[in-house]
Chain A
Amino acid sequence: MPGSSDAPQPLEQIAGWGRHPIVPGRVERPEHLALPPGFEPLVPRGLGRAYGDAAVPARPGGRVVESTRADRIRSFDPATGRLHCEAGLSLAEILRVFVPRGWFPPVTPGTKFVTVGACVACDVHGKNHHRDGSFGNFVERVTLLTADGRLVECGPARERELFLATVGGMGLTGLIVEVVLHLRRIETPWIVLETQGMGSLEVMLEGLRLSAAHWPYTVGWIDCLARGRNVGRGILMRGRHATAPEAGARRVRRPARLRVPLDAPEWLLNPLFMRWFNGIYAWAHGRTLRRRVVSYDRFFYPLDAIAEWNRLYGPRGFLQYQCVVPRAAGVRPVSALLERLADAGAASFLAVIKDCGPASDAYLSFPLEGTTLALDLPYRGAPTENVLHDLNAIVMEHGGRVYLAKDAITRPEDFARMMPRLREWQTVRDRWDPARRFRSGLSVRLLGDPA
């Protein structure tokens, strides 16, 4: 049978969404998730939207098991929104199938091209974290294929430790094959969106805090090129699902998708141009409060409208960076991060800022109560990495951490400092995968796995 797992797979270049690093691997895309015969290490992979090395093989030529063809819905209960599906089902499919019936993913990251299995493995969060927490909060059960080849079910009440290690565990506890989660009821596919210009970081943080009380979705865009008294200047966005009267007679249109046909030249994203662009953008928006009704695609997934937008960063790719610092530390660490970025010669153009609610019980889950900042940096070798190590130093100093789904360069000792519960997680991993059958570029870099 062609495509069966004993056939040698051709080598493919495997990278995260940031296109750095790139490692050749042998990819299987089975319709039934299974462990390949033998004991060769493997890395689970979904739609490849993790930015760094989370779904990149541990060594050149390593095995990759991609879940995207294992995408069947096992059951759906229209009374409760309980969805049982295979791990390769994407949020895009869930939206396509269930939005017309009045259901929405309980938590969604900034792209819908992400599998449910990856949402669990990264314990993704979204614009509603301050209210609802991360994806794992809505997961009733995960079925794992563990290193010994067994199918193990875990959840908040059974095999709880394995569950807490798997949620946010970056696919390193076993192959996630099925997930039971709970969708959210919505009245319409539309979002009531309010935007407001914010003149400084203090105002932005205060705006997020005040909005959090009444709005399920909040987020801010910060102009990283603004200096001096303008540091932290940006636009606050808050949204909620529209009611039927608010939505009126709007018709849902299939969003047009553009494609970036080739790698952009590196001069396109130059600081002067972006400074000008950000300035115009901020000026055009002003300080006024605007309110309108937009599609969920526009609100949650603006970048998904451009296929392969990662190519805009040119052939060398980019690093995405996301960190969170505890609220107790106040504004200071956030402004320190922004200042360090600005010092770096306008390495980043735009940052996304968001306040997070309480942390989850999952050992390696990223969000904690505080402020999170996410940004892209075009990859230019060591100087780019140094900027991020400096940012990490600020984050660590204030008891914060980085998000593994986006990370490609954090050092193992720094990561250990950021994650107070890493030991507990390792104990669980030792029990379920002592031989490290599940390995990735990330686990080699951060956890000392053999390549």
Chain B
Amino acid sequence: MKVAFVGATRGMGRALARGLAERGDALFLLGRDPREMDLSARDLESRGAAAPVGHGSLDLARPEGFAGALDAAERALTRIDALVVTGGAFESQDDLSRDPARLEALLHANFTGTVLLCQQAAERLAARGGGLICAFSSVAGDRARRSNYLYGASKAGLSAFLDGLDLAYRDRGVPVLCVKPGFVRTAMTAGLPVPPFAGEPDAVARDVIAAMDAHRHVVYAPSVWQWIMLIIRALPRAVLRRVRF
């Protein structure tokens, strides 16, 4: 598979890119920091990705660069079989609620940027005969909680978009996978209290690759979060008002 990958340098994206590399996929990395991408490219090549692993510039906050980034990926890979977007912003609710500029940047990257990128990519893949889109949303988008509804709102919007994108493009050869990680131990979540059922990036990567291969439209990772969220979605509002999570 030839994969254009946004966010392969860190956390779950790093683990997922490695999983793809180890089965010999070709990768083209997209992101903001060329030095980081260079380090990850060498790591992925050493682990079995078709060499060379190239990279190009993409900033989810700057949609004007998306077309050029996808062009660059297409040139390097000759064609794109899949676009994976694990990149996104995360900040604590405290910081977001006090600082409108940070909130705006997060909403812009997680929702507007990701939507514009995936929509454009879906159109392009459909025109070229098909391909897969896999984007990371979050269980935080399944139901608002007082402790992270701002981040959660950006992901709720993204989940709704991905759900619809799959409906619209699957028949045109572009299945769309919405990944909803639960709490996963990464540098992004460092310092947060670790809840029960926390996952590891490698396990998430395995689940996501299986879901990509099966052309599923949504996957919770670790999978137990599917059931946890079923319960949380079903909680009466009065309960959510009382609990502090």
**Residues of A with Cβ closer than 8 Å to B?**
1-3, 7-10, 28-31, 69, 72-76, 97
B170 interface residue per 8 A CB criterion: no
B149 interface residue per 8 A CB criterion: no
B43 interface residue per 8 A CB criterion: yes
User: How far, in Å, is A350 (CB) from chain B's closest CB?
Assistant: 32
User: How far, in Å, is B74 (CB) from chain A's closest CB?
Assistant: 26
Query: 23 pairs across A/B with beta carbons < 8 Å?
Result: A2-B91, A2-B188, A2-B189, A2-B190, A2-B192, A3-B187, A3-B188, A3-B191, A7-B191, A9-B191, A29-B187, A29-B190, A30-B187, A31-B10, A31-B11, A31-B14, A69-B187, A73-B47, A74-B46, A75-B42, A97-B22, A97-B46, A97-B47
Chain A residues, Cβ within 8 Å of B191: 2-3, 7-10
- Among B43, B48, B193, max chain A CB count under 10 A is at B43
Assess whether B39 is in contact with A74, with CB atoms less than 8 Å apart: yes
Assess whether A74 is in contact with B43, with CB atoms less than 8 Å apart: yes
B159 interface residue per 8 A CB criterion: no
Fill in one digit per residue for B91-109: 1 if any A CB lies within 8 Å of its CB, else 0.
Answer: 1100000000000000000
B40 interface residue per 8 A CB criterion: yes
| Given contact pairs A7-B191, A97-B47, A2 touches B92 in the complex (Cβ within 8 A) | yes
Chain A residues, Cβ within 8 Å of B48: 97
| Given contact pairs A3-B191, A10-B193, A75 touches B46 in the complex (Cβ within 8 A) | yes
Interface set, chain B 1-35, CB cutoff 8 A to A: 10-11, 14, 22
Tell me, in angstroms, the Cα distance from A2 to B89 when the chains sit together. Answer: 10
Provide the main secondary structure of the chain A interface.
Answer: loop
Assess whether B190 is in contact with A73, with CB atoms less than 8 Å apart: no
Chain A residues, Cβ within 8 Å of B42: 72-75
Assess whether B190 is in contact with A3, with CB atoms less than 8 Å apart: yes
B90 interface residue per 8 A CB criterion: yes
Can you list the 5 inter-chain pairs with the closest CB atoms, starting with the nearest? A3-B190, A73-B46, A72-B43, A76-B46, A3-B187
Chain A residues, Cβ within 8 Å of B11: 31
Interface set, chain B 114-135, CB cutoff 8 A to A: none
Chain B residues, Cβ within 8 Å of A8: 191
User: How far, in Å, is B11 (CB) from chain A's closest CB?
Assistant: 8
Assess whether B43 is in contact with A28, with CB atoms less than 8 Å apart: no
Q: Which residue of B lies closest to A76 (CB)?
A: B46
Interface set, chain B 33-60, CB cutoff 8 A to A: 39-40, 42-43, 46-48
Chain B residues, Cβ within 8 Å of A74: 39, 42-43, 46
Q: Which residue of A lies closest to B190 (CB)?
A: A3
Tell me, in angstroms, the Cα distance from A97 to B21 when the chains sit together. Answer: 11
User: How far, in Å, is B94 (CB) from chain A's closest CB?
Assistant: 11
Chain B residues, Cβ within 8 Å of A2: 90-92, 188-192
Partner of B40, one of A3, A29, A72: A72
Chain A residues, Cβ within 8 Å of B188: 2-3
| Given contact pairs A2-B190, A28-B190, A72 touches B39 in the complex (Cβ within 8 A) | yes
Chain B residues, Cβ within 8 Å of A28: 190
User: How far, in Å, is B32 (CB) from chain A's closest CB?
Assistant: 13
Q: Which residue of B lies closest to A8 (CB)?
A: B191
Tell me, in angstroms, the Cα distance from A334 to B92 when the chains sit together. Answer: 58
Tell me, in angstroms, the Cα distance from A75 to B193 when the chains sit together. Answer: 36
- Among B14, B40, B46, max chain A CB count under 10 A is at B46
Tell me, in angstroms, the Cα distance from A97 to B190 when the chains sit together. Answer: 27
